[in-house]
Structure 1
Amino acid sequence: MSVLPILTAAIAPGAALLCYFYLKDRYQPEPVSLVLRMFFFGVLLVFPIMVLQRALVLGLGLGEGSFLFSFLASSLPEEFFKWFLVYFIIYKHTSFDEPYDGIVYSVAVSLGFATLENVFYAFLHGSDFSFLMWRAFLPVSGHAMFGVIMGYHFGKAKFTAGGERKHLLYALLLPFFWHGTFDYILAVTKTYWIWFMVPLMVFLWVRSLLKVNRANAKSPLRMVTREEQVKI
């Protein structure tokens, strides 16, 4: 398989999911330039995280596929740095003006990371189309789900009175938990993973879509729209 088809197959899942969650913003879509910037920052995260993960594996002697590897070397650095980017770049930005915006930006960062990671894996297994489909269904989609969970709680932190610290903590801990669980299940169920991963992905998708609807329902812009409709 030539370079262009491999590259297209690797980028397409992340791009499609980003478009999907971007278009779910019902009331005031975010600036495309800012969403793409966060996606690009997510891409750049791959390199320092790879170095850190390698250092953790060598320094702590974590074996790939172990429980500690799944949570400490894989999930923790990835979700922490995604959280760090969203918090310090977007959380107090003027464009973050409704709860759903947290989901858009967190998903953008997560999918930026997942897309470059997918490109690397695609070039290693470029002739295996089934592998690329597996990557699209599981790791790329999984990163999107972790981004939804993170972004939902960023939105709750910013727009729920008295709950900021709690939801900022949830924005980190819940994606960390689900990401670690995801990786560990894949590691220990090499031959029968489908019996665990399909129910987990269905659960995460249903949970994420519910959070999308809840975030949109709590938008202050929704109330403005309703008032305008009443006046008309």
Structure 2
Amino acid sequence: MSAERDPVERASGDDQDLYDVATWEPRTALDRFSTWLYGGLATTGRAVVVVLAVLIVAAQFAAALGLVFFDRPVVAVYVLLSVVPALGLAAFVWKADATKREPLELLVVTFAFGFLFAGFAAILNSIFSGLFLGSVTEQSSVAIAVVVPALYFFLVVGPVEETVKWLAIRLYAYRSDRFDAVVDGAVYGAVAGLGFATIENAIYIGREVVAALEATGGPAAVSVGLETAAVRTLAGPGHVIYSAFAGYYLGLAKFNPENRGPIVVKGLVIASVIHATYNTVVTNLGVLTGAIGLPPGFVFIGFVVVYDGALFYVLYRKLKRYRAAYEQTGAETFEDDQREGDADEPGDLRGTDSSENERDRQ
């Protein structure tokens, strides 16, 4: 029962029936119909979001990439290789989870949603890019050329992309009883970031190959695809790290419902800012390399390694702190004892539809 109760309920005795006065549970046919209708609308709403995401992604591939992955399977291999570092980071976060391992079903669905929901981000980014970047021309001052894209990254790209990755967790895994620890949020966040990085890499690499095919022909296109894949290999791990932060705070919010909103916002702000900072610096590396006289590729690799490495260390420390608390408090033993005790209680509804409906109402 919620900690916030109506004054009548607080003052009443346990034997007083306050149904439809200050308390409520499904009793009548109308109550049960309302509960069924709410569950149906919620399920339909989630299904509509997923179907819309699938259609958007399919349209993106059809319009921008065509059949390039079928005509040149090597391009698909480039995409798979480009996400190996991101996969490694996600696996590390999964392994660092001190609690019981997350079920494959939830991991796969979260990855798929991260992959699919990237289409929403692409649409919103495109809508706002003209508003921000349309004013930047070759004749613009250095200040405008730096500040305006930075505003675009901090106000649009970072928040939009981190929010859709957050949605990939919130829509399914978060609602499950098997999301039963704060640290699980980091695991699902990392997996959502991996899904997002996979489709982003596929679109970037495929689009460059298509452009090269139209301009120069086959051999050059394959070379361009390989070069793009090399760059995207370094960009992918960032998505895993950023959304792992947002996911961790989503997990924290789940188990602190009285402060759920501010905690979720904190996680999204952290993820959005570090994401936007990365984009801003990478976009302006040309100015930096021109000033110091170093090869652009060298500076880019150095920045990515240092920046993502530092953020990953912070994430690692957060996961390590959780593990220490988990071990020091004897949480694993306590949870085992609780599960054994609950199993002995009659009417245990964990994992049933009624518990799922109760979470839906929260």
Q: Is 1:144 matched up with 2:222?
A: no
Compared CA separation, residues 133 and 116, structure 1 to 2 (3 A)? same
Q: Is 1:14 matched up with 2:121?
A: no
Alignment of 1:1-232 (within 5 A): 2-61=74-133, 63=136, 66-123=149-206, 124=208, 126-127=222-223, 129=226, 131-137=228-234, 139-160=235-256, 162-190=258-286, 191=296, 192-194=299-301, 196-219=303-326, 223-226=330-333
Larger Rg: 2
Compared CA separation, residues 207 and 58, structure 1 to 2 (3 A)? same
Compared CA separation, residues 227 and 41, structure 1 to 2 (3 A)? closer
Q: Return the alpha-carbon distance in structure 2 between the equivalents of residues 155 and 217 of structure 1.
A: 17
Is the contact between residue 173 and residue 179 of structure 2 (CA under 8 Å) also seen in structure 1?
A: yes
Tell me which moved more, 146-155 or 104-113: 146-155
Q: CA deviation at 1:35?
A: 0.7
Q: CA deviation at 1:58?
A: 2.3
Over the residues paired in the alignment, what is the CA RMSD in angstroms?
A: 2.9
% identical aligned pairs: 24
Compared CA separation, residues 199 and 161, structure 1 to 2 (3 A)? same
TM-score, normalisation: structure 2? 0.56
Segments of structure 2 that go 5 or more residues without pairing to the other structure are 1-71, 137-144, 210-221, 287-295, 337-362
Q: Whose relative contact order is higher, 1 or 2, with alpha carbons under 8 Å and at least 6 apart?
A: 1
Q: Return the alpha-carbon distance in structure 2 between the equivalents of residues 59 and 185 of structure 1.
A: 21
Matched position secondary structure for 2:237: helix
Q: CA deviation at 1:131?
A: 4.3
Segments of structure 1 that go 5 or more residues without pairing to the other structure are none
Matched position secondary structure for 1:20: helix
Q: CA deviation at 1:41?
A: 0.4
TM-score, normalisation: structure 1? 0.83
Q: Return the alpha-carbon distance in structure 2 between the equivalents of residues 197 and 73 of structure 1.
A: 22
Q: Return the alpha-carbon distance in structure 2 between the equivalents of residues 89 and 218 of structure 1.
A: 27
Q: CA deviation at 1:90?
A: 3.1
Superimposed CA distance per residue, residues 126-169 of structure 1 (whole angstroms, 9 cap, x where no aligned partner)? 525454343223x2111111022112212222234754333211
